[in-house]
Amino acid sequence: MKAKLSRKMAKQEYKIVRITKTEFELDNGDIYPHAFELDEDITIEEFQRLLDESKTTILNHIKNLRQDNE
């Protein structure tokens, strides 16, 4: 299951089109609240970079879990 999840996640591209202090919107129209309060203005490009880095971190954690269970 972890392998299937990580393959699906690795293929998925998340494109930020709008960001406010309380939420962000993807190019497919999905809107998500922030998991934390933004205390400063952030550009779409900066937030996109953070989202991409978070995705990489999560994929690395899943990979490490798989290796630990082998």
Q: What confidence tens digit (pLDDT) does each residue in 7-43 have?
A: 888 899 999 999 998 999 999 999 999 988 888 889 9
- DSSP notation for 33-53: E-SS---S---HHHHHHHHHH
Place of tokens 């293929």: 11
pTM of the model as a whole: 0.79
Give pLDDT, residue 43. Answer: 95
Taking the domains of the chain in order of start, what are their residue ranges?
Answer: 2-68
19 burial type by CB count under 10 A (0-12 exposed, 13-18 middle, 19+ buried): buried
* Integer Cα distance of 26 and 5 in angstroms: 20
Give the DSSP letter of residue 38: -
